């Protein structure tokens, strides 16, 4: 998943060679692959991801040619990494996100996956996920994905309530979700569903129904996000004009608490602020790689990558992206090389969101001084602190950014 606004950074060289710091210690870090598929059937009003509908795109960046272009970046990536002195590492996880990956033929997705596996190899039992909209899969396409090496599918369910789905501009019929989940199961894929709460007009009861409905499909994993009003989206404009009521943080908090309770009752535990899994193995290993600061290469327009404290991001438009690769140039639009202090800031910001928590003894003396206050405010679990890790309480998860800020001071 790639948000549409790119950061400001340094220029990135055309040959894709990374700064020296990227290679340091790489052999001990895991390596993942993200593949961005920038196409959707319709654009949802709240979504600011880098995705395009057919009408938004001209010829050159056609969906048909996309797999080939993506494969080209896979080749480019393999070359650039070895030119940067990075060891060849097997893929620890692969994630196809979007947009709507399943808008492409399953064969296109498996082809890209095959090219990557051919280059790097895949660790045993590696997780290979694709995102999918419930109405863009069939039993056959799911079977094809499974046969091509995919192990997991994440469905954008969002809500079980028609009027909520309508505000979100979701096109799928809610009945389609159990069907898609069942097919995925049957073919052997593990299943996650995405939910969104706090949509304007969603009642507390609506949300409870959505949560219970999602649980009734017995997924291995659930992501539940509060609706974020992203700048520049149709939803933001509707709220500004007063056509849709604004979202309310207190409503979000109450719905989060409810969801957490219901998930727990159903046997799912939180492992990240917005993610719950049935067992620790069901946690999304790919997303964990992001939060733990592992290395990954992001394929596709607007995709972000991270290798050893170097972050970069590709040009956004699929046409510009394809053109770069056609010329044999890196599609990167900009990058930043993080210094030690910034990497530490990111580590605190990301790992503090996880149930595995931050090891207290890795924290700076100033950060450690803040812990007593965090315990007093009931934001972190005192027992876990005594056992050596900083883990958020339920209240702390809802105030996670405040915890991060406190640890940074």
Partner 1 sequence: MSPMARTAPVPAATDPAIIRNFCIIAHIDHGKSTLADRMLQLTGVVQQRDMKAQYLDRMDIERERGITIKSQAVRIPWEVDGTSYCLNMIDTPGHVDFTYEVSRSLAACEGAILLVDAAQGIEAQTLANLYLAMENNLTIIPVLNKIDLPAAQPEKYAAELANLIGGKPEDVLMVSGKTGVGVEELLDQIVRDLPAPQGDPNAPARAMIFDSVYDTYRGVVTYVRVIDGSLSPREKIQMMSTRATHELLEIGVSSPEPKPSKGLGVGEVGYLITGVKDVRLSKVGDTVTTFHKPATEALAGYHDAKPMVFSGLYPLDGTDYPVLRDALEKLMLNDAALVYEPETSAALGFGFRVGFLGLLHLEITRERLEREHNLDLISTAPNVEYEVTLEDKKVVHVTNPSEYPTGKIAEVREPMVAATILAPTEFVGAIMELCQTRRGILGGMDYLSEDRVEIRYRLPLAEIVFDFFDILKSKTRGYGSLDWKADGDQVADLVKVDIMLQGEQVDAFSAITHRDKSYAYGVMMTGKLRELIPRQQFEVPIQAAIGARIIARENIRAIRKDVLAKCYGGDISRKRKLLEKQKEGKKRMKMVGRVEVPQEAFIAALSSEEPVKDKSKK
Kindly list the residues in this chain that would bind partner 1 in the complex (CB under 8 A). Answer: 1-3, 5, 7, 9, 34, 225-226, 228, 246-250, 252-254, 256, 273-274, 287, 290-291, 296, 298, 302-306, 311, 313, 336, 342, 345-346, 349-350, 353, 377, 379, 397-402, 404-405, 408-409
In angstroms, what is the minimal distance from the CB of 276 to partner 1? 13
Q: Which of 133, 141, 151, 238 binds ligand SF4 (CB under 6 A)?
A: 133
Q: Which two tokens stand for residue 214?
A: 């999602």
SS3 222: strand
Q: Which of 47, 333, 348, 391 binds ligand SF4 (CB under 6 A)?
A: 47
Q: What angle do CA 352, 354, 359 make, to 5 degrees?
A: 55
In angstroms, what is the minimal distance from the CB of 240 to ligand SAM? 15
Q: How large is the greatest C-alpha to C-alpha distance in the chain, in angstroms?
A: 60
In angstroms, what is the minimal distance from the CB of 155 to ligand SAM? 7
By CB under 6 A, residue 100 contacts ligand SF4: yes
Nearer to ligand SAM, 153 or 332 (CB): 153
Phi then psi dihedrals of residue 40, to 5 deg: -140, 155
The CB-based long-range contact list for 366-369 (8 Å cut-off, 24+ gap) reads 366/409, 367/407, 367/408
**Among partner 1, ligand SF4, ligand SAM, none, what binds residue 230 when CB lies within 5 to 8 Å by partner kind?**
ligand SAM
Give the rounded distance of the alpha carbon of 26 from its chain centre.
Answer: 23
Contact at 8 Å (CB) between 263 and 274? Answer: no
Q: Which of 13, 23, 43, 258 binds ligand SF4 (CB under 6 A)?
A: 43
Only segment of 12-20, 93-101, 312-320, 383-391 that touches ligand SAM (CB under 6 A) = 93-101
Q: Which two tokens stand for residue 316?
A: 């956004």
| Residues ≥6 apart with Cβ < 8 Å to 390 | 352, 357, 358, 359, 360, 363, 371, 374, 380, 384, 407
- Residues forming the site for ligand SF4 (CB under 6 A): 40, 43-44, 47, 49, 51, 98-100, 133, 156
């Amino acid at each position: 998943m790639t948000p549409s606004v790119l950061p400001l950074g340094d220029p990135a060289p055309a040959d894709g060679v990374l700064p020296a710091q990227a290679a340091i210690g790489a052999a001990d870090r895991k390596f993942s692959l993200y593949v961005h598929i920038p196409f959707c059937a319709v654009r949802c009003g709240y979504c600011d991801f880098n995705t395009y509908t057919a009408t938004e795109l001209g010829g050159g960046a056609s969906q048909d040619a996309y797999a080939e272009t993506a494969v080209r970046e896979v080749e480019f990536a393999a070359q650039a990494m070895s030119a940067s002195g990075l060891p060849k590492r097997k893929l620890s996880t692969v994630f196809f996100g979007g947009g709507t990956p399943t808008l492409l033929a399953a064969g296109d997705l498996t082809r890209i996956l095959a090219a990557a596996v051919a280059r790097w190899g895949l660790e045993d039992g590696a997780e290979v996920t694709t995102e999918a909209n419930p109405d863009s899969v069939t039993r056959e396409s799911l079977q094809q994905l499974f046969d091509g090496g995919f192990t997991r599918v994440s469905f954008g369910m969002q809500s079980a309530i028609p009027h909520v789905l309508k505000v979100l501009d979701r096109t799928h019929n809610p009945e389609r979700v159990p069907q898609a989940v069942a097919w995925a199961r049957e073919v052997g894929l593990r299943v996650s569903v995405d939910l969104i709460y706090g949509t304007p007009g969603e009642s507390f009861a609506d949300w409870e129904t959505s949560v219970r409905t999602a649980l009734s499909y017995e997924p291995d994993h659930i992501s539940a996000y509060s609706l974020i009003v992203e700048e520049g989206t149709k939803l933001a404009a509707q709220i500004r004009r007063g056509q849709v009521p604004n979202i309310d943080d207190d409503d979000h908090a109450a719905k989060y608490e409810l969801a957490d309770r219901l998930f727990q009752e159903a046997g799912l535990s939180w492992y990240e602020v917005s993610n719950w899994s049935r067992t620790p193995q069901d946690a999304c290993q790919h997303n964990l790689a992001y939060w733990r600061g592992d290395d990954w290469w992001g394929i596709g327009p607007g995709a972000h990558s991270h290798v050893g404290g170097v972050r970069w991001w590709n040009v956004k438009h699929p046409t510009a992206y394809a053109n770069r690769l056609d010329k044999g140039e890196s599609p990167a639009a900009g990058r930043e090389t993080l210094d030690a202090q910034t990497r530490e800031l990111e580590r605190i910001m990301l790992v503090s969101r996880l149930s595995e928590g931050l090891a207290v003894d890795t924290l700076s003396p100033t950060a450690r001084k803040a812990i007593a206050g965090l315990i007093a405010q009931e934001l972190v679990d005192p027992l876990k602190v005594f056992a050596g890790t900083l883990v958020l309480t339920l209240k702390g998860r809802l105030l996670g950014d405040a915890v991060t800020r406190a640890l940074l001071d």
